[in-house]
Amino acid sequence: MSCRLLNLRVFSLRVVPLCASALLIYVPAASPAQVSGSSSGVATNNVYPIDLPTALRLANAQNLDIQIARERLKEAKANHESAVELFLPWVAPGAVYRRHENRIQDVVGNILDADKQSYTVGGALTAQMDLGDAVYKSLAAKQLVNAADHALESQRQDSTLAAAQGYYDLAKAKAIVEVVKEALSISQDYQKQLHDAVGAGIAFKGDELRVQTQTERYQTALRQALEQQRVAAARLAQILHLDSAVELVPQDTDLVPLTLVETNAPLDSLVQQALRSRPELKQSQALVSAAHYFVGLGWRIGPGGLFDFSRVRASKARLETARLSGAKVQDEITRQVVESHARAQSLLDQITTTKQNLATASETLRLTRERKQFGVGAVLEDIQAQQELTRARSDYLNAVAEFNKAQYGLAKAVGELSETGKTDNNTRTSIPRE
């Protein structure tokens, strides 16, 4: 009976590298009846394909946080213009109308009856200047403009990072959907062949039920994977300020490791580069300079000017707060560099391990099916080998996607992330074939 079971179809699984910025596992065509039951209710007519460069451009153009930062920069520039205008005189137009009726006393003291009126229309050019406040408010406002400009650049980089990481979450979810679809298709075909063999009396019913159990698990896994893909699409749409009802799908068809910052670079040099380049530190320095101007010399004596010690103490406290905030930002940037560097190194090692595991799982499945051809293999062995291969593929996809996200995080941490992203340095790795 086992000899006749050898005629069951052997399915080969293959991982195929393609040429884009994301890894797709090759998926054989599955009949509608095989997968439609699991994917019903999740398809949408509003599907928009998107690639990584497009996502980065949209993030810079439409992200709400960037738009808010732009408006704050406009506000700072307007405040600076208002401070400069304190040096200029102003014109005060006016009109005066006077009328008198009945009695009036003249200069001698006589009481007279008189009716009179007069009016005046004109203007006055007035120049009233508080020179101390005008000078220091102008200088402080200029530094606040610089701070707002650096804040805008910082927000651009934050949004670029969020868009890149959101895109790779979506690409990973899509790739895992394809992996599970392939596994489900193979399991369904295997189950059908076992069902026919059981009907012919040449196979054990328990083996068919084992495969059926695996098929049902894959159906559940597919539904969960489709859910994760839709959630990732909605989150990316939010980052890009798009309609979340439109389902974004990655246009690139593979996931490959990319390198923006070398993970073997000395950590000290990366920290120093970050402290020179990060716009958050430049913003903090501008805020310290603005606070310093508020401590400057005043030209007024009394409240609001010289000998107003309460005002002086308040200004010094603001200056010290700005300095301490700058030190806090510096510590935060150092931590981000160390953390991002460690994560990128770890994920690079994980890619190597999961790649080897993928090759091992593929070889295990091949040997298992050879055993089945010689009549010594069991259905359970084939099921376990297929499950291990599916898990190895998913682990590899996850490691690559997380590594790419970590690369963008490291580029942001050291101050190398531009508003359009940095993707010309991509590196690709060969994918093991069965």
Q: Look up tokens 């009016």; give the residue.
A: 119
Q: Who contacts 379 (Cβ-Cβ below 8 Å, separation ≥6)?
A: 194, 204, 207, 210, 211
Q: Please indicate whether residue 316 or residue 120 has the higher confidence score (pLDDT).
A: 316
pLDDT in the model for residue 128: 56
- Cα 81 from Cα 63, distance rounded (Å): 28
Structural tokens at position 282? 């430049």
pLDDT in the model for residue 39: 38
Question: Does residue 167 form part of some domain?
Answer: yes
Query: Domain of 401?
Result: 4-85+132-414
Q: How far is CA 80 from CA 76, 83, 152, 335, in A?
A: 6, 5, 17, 35
Share of the chain above pLDDT 90, in %: 30
- Cα 254 from Cα 324, distance rounded (Å): 46
Question: Does residue 55 form part of some domain?
Answer: yes
Q: How many domains does the chain have?
A: 1
Average pLDDT value for the chain: 75
Question: Does residue 97 form part of some domain?
Answer: no
| CATH classification of the domain holding 161 | 1.20.1600.10
Task: Please check the confidence at residue 220 and state whether its pLDDT lies above 60.
Answer: yes
Question: Does residue 74 form part of some domain?
Answer: yes
Question: Does residue 91 form part of some domain?
Answer: no
pLDDT in the model for residue 171: 94
Question: Does residue 100 form part of some domain?
Answer: no
Q: Please indicate whether residue 396 or residue 377 has the higher confidence score (pLDDT).
A: 396
pLDDT (tens digit per residue) in 390-420: 999 999 999 999 999 999 999 999 988 864 4
Q: Who contacts 157 (Cβ-Cβ below 8 Å, separation ≥6)?
A: 279, 412, 417, 418, 419
pTM of the predicted protein model = 0.70
Question: Does residue 425 form part of some domain?
Answer: no
Question: Does residue 37 form part of some domain?
Answer: yes
